[in-house]
Amino acid sequence: MTKYFLQILIILLSINTLNSQNLDSLNISRINDTIVSKFLNEKRTIEIQLPRSYDVELEKKYPLMLVLDGDYMFNIVSGSVDYLSYWGDIPENLVVGLNQKDTRFKDSSVFDNLTHTPITSTANFYDFIVSELIPYMSKNFRISEFKVIVGQERTANFANFFLLKQNPIFRGVISISPRISTNMKSYLTQQLSKTNSKIVYTLSTSTNDFESIYKNVSDLNNSLDSIDNKNLRFQSLIFEKENHYILPSISVPSSIRATYSLYSDIDKTEYDSIISRLETSPIDYVKNKYLLIKNFYDEDKKISINDFMAIEEYIEDNEYFNLYDELSKLANDEYPGTILPSYYKGRYVEETGDPERAMYIYRSAYNMKEVKGLTKEYLLELAERIKEDFNY
């Protein structure tokens, strides 16, 4: 799928003319709400998109993605989140957009002349988000500890200020073509070099962006890319053809995927570049991958069947059949009561010299639940092959 086809799909998902009946048929819920702010001394409208599973998974908490410039960015972001989470590339997110059509500058660009940090209206907007908007969302919706903030140009620069705190309320930042303020590069580099919080930072621009923005973003990219801190996951995306105004339509879905790069299942690129070259156990690699998902995204993701199959491929390619025993134990932890543990236990026993016992293990799984990509019929077929080969 080309990035342009993906862009078209996302735009189709998020067009303003999509009425409530169509939203219901897609199992998407959108809510328009208002928050009365004492910091801003006015009402602010917000738009919320709930995850598809929100009314089904009643105990689940979801990452929150706050979209600044929601008047034009919300639909791009919410459509991208829904599309990518539908296919399992990212977890479902609760997306909230802030309309800033008439308040953008005063919300995000009023700084002290010496420190170049927020004052007056921008400081108030910061306090509104931290002390009113986030508590409101936490009280009324099931949101997890992982929160992402998205902005472009002025609001992208403003989003950086949340990372300058010791325990930032947002641990994910998607910064699209930021208009970087004075001192911001040094502030960010210094803070992210020593942070103990798990931070995911995605930065993007284009060679066809405004020249000053492209230059400053390139400088920031070099500084952040040089940081050696295991608590920071930084990625920059440099596009080529898109101008400043088109950039969000391309950058948003790519930046969201980059933000959740740990989350997606093992694909061919990860297998070829990492898994196939491992000198340690691939099972330990996968366990660590899912531990990082928990630590960075606050997501208790079950190890996917696809990732089990990736380990199986490694075992077969390298003939490390003893690993099947450990893989069977892991499968029992993740998918108890299914045929998966018996399948790997049978493979271990068969490959290490006891085909008759393997035949009985395969057959014993008949009353267990199937998993995606692995059927009872296939296990019975494996048992029959052993029976025929050894005349049992």
Mean pLDDT by 10 residues, the chain (392 residues): 44 41 57 96 96 95 98 97 96 97 96 97 98 97 98 98 96 98 97 97 97 96 97 97 95 98 95 95 97 97 96 96 97 97 96 94 93 93 91 76
C-alpha distances in angstroms, 150 versus 83, 86, 291, 360? 17, 20, 25, 55
What tokens does 328 get?
């069977």
The DSSP output letter for 286 is: H
Pair (232, 119) in one structural domain: yes
Cα separation, 178 vs 159, in Å, equals 9
Cα separation, 161 vs 108, in Å, equals 10
Longest dimension (CA), the chain: 87
What tokens does 76 get?
């791009």
Pair (231, 281) in one structural domain: no
* Half-sphere exposure (Cβ direction) of 148: Cα atoms closer than 13 Å: 33
Pair (382, 247) in one structural domain: no
Pair (255, 279) in one structural domain: no
Query: 194, 227, 259: which is the final residue of a domain?
Result: 259
C-alpha distances in angstroms, 276 versus 265, 272, 304? 15, 5, 18
Domain count within the chain: 2
pLDDT at 27 (0 to 100) = 64
Residue 342 carries which side chain, given as an amino acid letter? S
Pair (117, 49) in one structural domain: yes
The helix/strand/coil state of 227 is coil
The sign one gets for the Cα dihedral 182, 183, 184, 186 is: positive
Instruction: Enumerate the β-bridge partners of residue 204.
Output: 176, 237
Pair (141, 92) in one structural domain: yes
CATH code for the domain of 225: 3.40.50.1820
Reported in sequence order, the residue ranges of the chain that DSSP labels E, i.e. its strands, are 29-37, 42-50, 62-67, 94-98, 143-152, 172-176, 199-206, 232-239
Cα separation, 106 vs 120, in Å, equals 9
Pair (136, 38) in one structural domain: yes
CATH code for the domain of 374: 1.25.40.10
Report the relative pairing of strands 42-50 and 94-98 from DSSP bridges. antiparallel
What b/e readout covers 136-174, taking b as 16+ CB neighbours within 10 angstroms?
A: ebeeebbbbebbbbbbbbbbbbbbbbbbeeeebbbbbbb
With a CB cutoff of 8 Å and minimum separation 6, the contacts of 350 are: 358, 382, 386
Cβ–Cβ contacts within 10 Å for residue 101, how many? 9
The sign one gets for the Cα dihedral 71, 73, 75, 78 is: negative
pLDDT at 85 (0 to 100) = 97
Pair (248, 109) in one structural domain: yes
Can you give the C-alpha Rg of the chain in angstroms? 25
C-alpha distances in angstroms, 320 versus 53, 281, 282, 286, 379? 39, 10, 11, 16, 21
Pair (14, 100) in one structural domain: yes
Pair (352, 203) in one structural domain: no
Pair (285, 179) in one structural domain: no
pLDDT at 10 (0 to 100) = 45
Torsional class of 265: left (φ above 0), alpha (ψ -120 to 50), beta (otherwise): beta
What residues make up the domain containing 180?
3-259
Pair (170, 298) in one structural domain: no
The DSSP output letter for 311 is: H
Pair 251, 204: CB distance under 8 Å: yes
The helix/strand/coil state of 35 is strand
Report the relative pairing of strands 232-239 and 62-67 from DSSP bridges. unpaired
Query: 234, 259, 284: which is the final residue of a domain?
Result: 259
Pair 79, 256: CB distance under 8 Å: no
Chain centroid, CA 190 distance in Å: 25
What tokens does 312 get?
């199986």
Cα separation, 236 vs 352, in Å, equals 47
Query: 224, 259, 294: which is the final residue of a domain?
Result: 259
